[in-house]
Chains A and B, each alone.
Chain A
Amino acid sequence: MTRLFASLRIALRALMVNKMRSALTMLGIIIGVGAVIAMIAVGSGAKSVIAERIASMGSNMLIVMSGSSTSGGFRFGSGTVPTLTVDDAKAILSEIPSVKYVAPTLPGVAQVVYGNQNWSTSIQGTTPEMLDIREWPVASGRSFTQQDLDGATKVCLLGMTVVENLFGGIDPVGQIVRIKKVPFTVIGVLGQKGQASFGQDQDDTIFVPLTTAQKRLFGMQFPGMVRTITVQARGPEVMGEVEEEINAVLRQRHRIQPNQENDFTVRNLTEIMSTAQETASVMSLLLGAIASISLMVGGIGIMNIMLVSVTERTREIGIRIAVGAKGRDILLQFLIESLVLSLIGGILGIAIGVAGTLILSSVTQWPTLFSMQAILLAFLFSGSVGVFFGFYPARKASMLNPIEALRYE
Chain B
Amino acid sequence: MDSLIQVQDLVKVYSLGEVEVQALRSVSLLVERGEFVAIMGASGSGKSTFMNILGFLDRPTSGQYLLEGINGENLSRDELAEIRNRKIGFVFQGFNLLSRTSALENVELPLVYAGTPTSKRKEMAQKALSEVNLNGREHHHPSQLSGGEQQRVAIARALVNQPSILLADEPTGNLDSKTSEEIMGIFQRLNREMGITIIMITHEPDIAAFAKRNILFKDGSIVDDHKNSAPTLATRGESRK
Contact = CB atoms under 8 A, between A and B. Distances in A.
A323 B98 contact: no
B17 interface: no
5 contacts: A13-B100, A319-B96, A327-B81, A402-B57, A403-B52
Contact of A323 (B58, B84, B101, B115): B84
A154 interface: no
B86 interface: yes
Contacts of B81: 321, 324-327
A315 B96 contact: yes
B55 interface: yes
B193 interface: no
A193 interface: no
A328 B115 CA distance: 13
Contact of A322 (B55, B82, B97, B116): B55
Interface in A340-399: none
B117 interface: yes
B78 A326 contact: yes
B143 to A, nearest CB: 13
A243 interface: no
Interface of B: 52, 55, 57-58, 77-78, 81-82, 84-86, 90, 92, 96-98, 100-101, 109-110, 112-118, 157, 161
Given A403-B52, A403-B57, A324 B117 contact: no
B110 A323 contact: yes
Interface of A: 2-3, 6, 13, 17, 315-316, 318-329, 402-403, 406
A2 B117 contact: yes
Contacts, number: 61
Contacts of B116: 2
Nearest to A329: B113
A323 B77 contact: no
Given A322-B55, A323-B110, A324-B82, A2 B118 contact: yes
Given A17-B100, A402-B57, A322 B84 contact: yes
Q: Which 9 A-B pairs have the closest CB atoms?
A: A324-B85, A324-B113, A326-B78, A323-B110, A326-B81, A6-B112, A325-B113, A319-B96, A324-B84
A406 B92 CA distance: 9
- State the majority secondary structure of interface residues on A: helix
Nearest to B96: A319
B94 to A, nearest CB: 8
A178 B133 CA distance: 106
B233 to A, nearest CB: 31
B113 A322 contact: no
B1 to A, nearest CB: 26
A326 B202 CA distance: 29
B84 to A, nearest CB: 5
Nearest to B112: A6
Contact of A324 (B52, B86, B96): B86
Contacts of B92: 406
Contacts of B109: 319-320, 323
Interface centre among B85, B97, B113 (most CB of A within 10 A): B113
A324 B98 contact: no
A319 B85 contact: no
A403 to B, nearest CB: 5
Nearest to A10: B112
A327 B76 CA distance: 11
A319 B52 CA distance: 13
Given A315-B96, A406-B92, A326 B57 contact: no
A318 B58 CA distance: 13
Contacts of B118: 2
Contact of B57 (A2, A322, A329): A322
A290 B182 CA distance: 65
Given A315-B96, A403-B52, A406-B92, A327 B117 contact: no
A320 B90 CA distance: 11
A57 to B, nearest CB: 66
A13 B58 CA distance: 31
A322 B98 contact: no
Q: Which of B77, B101, B116 has the most CB of A within 10 A?
A: B77
Nearest to A315: B96
Contacts of B57: 322, 402-403
Nearest to A322: B90
Given A322-B84, A324-B85, A2 B115 contact: yes
Contacts of B161: 324
